């Protein structure tokens, strides 16, 4: 059985009868999963690791989109945004996140600028499957290399937050238009303390590495991120911190997914969908998988009564939902 979706050009992927199977996508290499729930559909935006590498490094030129209504059958919407659509960018189509506001869809994407350094681009579309159109200039461009891995969240009072960063976690307060931010507040640097992110091996001396994912549940704010334990040669694991306020102070919560069995990077995306909580992540487990050839997976998890989360195991798939 396959289903059709209302938006865009789609192709139904191989139907799966009973359980969803990891990696979710086995036709291309994908990484940096960013789920977005819209009504009865979960949309999954990913980066795309090209088969052929340039300079033996991440070779990534476009962003892909997939959707599901049951966590088992997925529809491939193909390329929804690419470096070719961003006149001022030339490389590194890295980890995105999408959000809907007032009937428009915004895809926040780190890219390498033609004149050097990383910055955050915004693609805008009328439906979740794109095509996304670049807003024409960087949204965040501090002139350093920290401006990667944006995560966006609109709070109950309407204030939207865009967190991002490697090695530092930073944020801006997005304006209602979602394509500009409060310049008086500017780019705020989160104090990179051990209380917030635990002692770790990344450049700030904490575990916080990159790939933040910001959301709120039952009045508690969560920051989930790719993290580095102390010591040399460690792969990234996933960890989380919480706060009673959207801008911190943050308190370290624990390890969400261990580094074992993965590749150097990992990248979290969290969504509640049809009464279940999901952690999307990536591994190198497709045939030919490697540091630069990753694939997106998903695991179901539950919260403890106090809002804490136990370590989630990498798994081979999830059950269907209705």
Q: Which contiguous run of DSSP H or E holds residue 197?
A: helix 194-197
CB of 240 to ligand FUB, least distance (A): 15
DSSP letters, 235-248, are PPEEEEEEESSTT-
CB of 210 to ligand FUB, least distance (A): 5
CB of 66 to ligand FUB, least distance (A): 17
Q: Give start and end residues of each alpha helix (H) in 55-112.
A: none
Give the chain's end-to-end CA distance (angstroms, integer): 14
* Distance, CA of 259 to CA of 160 (rounded, Å): 31
Give whole-number Cα distances, 157 to 133, 227, 256, in Å. 28, 30, 29
Alpha-carbon torsion (24, 27, 30, 36), positive or negative: negative
- Contacts with ligand FUB, 267-286, as mask; x by CB under 6 A: x-------------------
Using rule CB under 6 A, residue 265 touches ligand FUB: yes
Residue number with CB closer to ligand FUB (72 or 192): 192
Task: Find the binding residues for ligand FUB in span 225-254 (CB under 6 A).
Answer: 226
Using rule CB under 6 A, residue 95 touches ligand FUB: yes
Residue number with CB closer to ligand FUB (226 or 270): 226
Q: Give which of 290, 320, 253, 249 is closest to 31, Cα–Cα.
A: 290
Task: Find the binding residues for ligand FUB in span 33-52 (CB under 6 A).
Answer: 47
The position carrying tokens 């490094």 is: 57
Residue number with CB closer to ligand FUB (7 or 106): 106
CB of 220 to ligand FUB, least distance (A): 24
Q: Which contiguous run of DSSP H or E holds residue 208?
A: strand 208-217
Using rule CB under 6 A, residue 31 touches ligand FUB: yes
Q: Which of 33, 211, 248, 269 binds ligand FUB (CB under 6 A)?
A: 211
Strands 170-174 and 160-164: antiparallel
CB of 135 to ligand FUB, least distance (A): 20
- Summarize as ranges the residues that interact with ligand FUB (CB under 6 A): 31-32, 47, 58, 94-95, 110, 148-149, 210-211, 226, 265, 267
């Amino acid at each position: 059985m396959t289903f059709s979706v209302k938006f865009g050009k789609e192709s139904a992927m191989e139907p799966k009868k009973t359980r969803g199977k990891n990696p979710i996508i086995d036709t291309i290499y994908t990484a940096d999963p960013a789920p977005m729930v819209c009504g009865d559909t979960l949309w999954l935006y990913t980066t795309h690791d090209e088969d052929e590498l340039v300079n033996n490094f991440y070779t990534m030129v476009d962003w892909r989109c997939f959707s599901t209504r049951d966590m088992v059958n997925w529809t491939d919407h193909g390329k929804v945004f690419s470096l070719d659509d961003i006149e001022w960018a030339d490389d590194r189509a890295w980890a995105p996140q999408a959000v809907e506001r007032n009937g428009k869809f915004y895809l926040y994407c780190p890219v390498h600028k033609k004149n050097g350094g990383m910055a955050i681009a915004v693609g805008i579309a009328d439906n979740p499957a794109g095509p996304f159109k670049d807003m024409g200039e960087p949204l965040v461009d501090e002139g350093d290399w920290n401006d990667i891995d944006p995560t966006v969240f609109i709070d109950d009072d309407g204030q939207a937050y865009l967190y991002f960063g490697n090695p530092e976690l930073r944020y801006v307060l997005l304006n209602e238009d979602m394509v500009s931010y409060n310049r008086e507040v500017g780019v705020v640097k989160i104090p990179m303390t051990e209380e917030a992110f635990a002692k770790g091996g990344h450049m700030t001396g904490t575990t916080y590495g990159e790939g933040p994912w910001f959301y709120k549940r039952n009045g508690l704010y969560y920051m989930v991120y790719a993290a580095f334990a102390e010591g040399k040669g460690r792969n990234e694991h996933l960890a989380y911190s919480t706060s009673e306020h959207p801008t911190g102070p943050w308190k370290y919560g624990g390890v969400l997914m261990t580094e074992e069995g993965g590749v150097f990077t990992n990248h979290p995306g969290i969504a509640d969908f049809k009464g279940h909580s999901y952690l999307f992540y990536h591994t190198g487990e497709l045939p030919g998988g490697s540091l630069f050839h990753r694939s997106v997976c998903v695991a179901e998890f539950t919260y403890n009564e106090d809002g804490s989360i136990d370590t989630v195991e990498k798994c081979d798939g999830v059950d269907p939902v209705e």
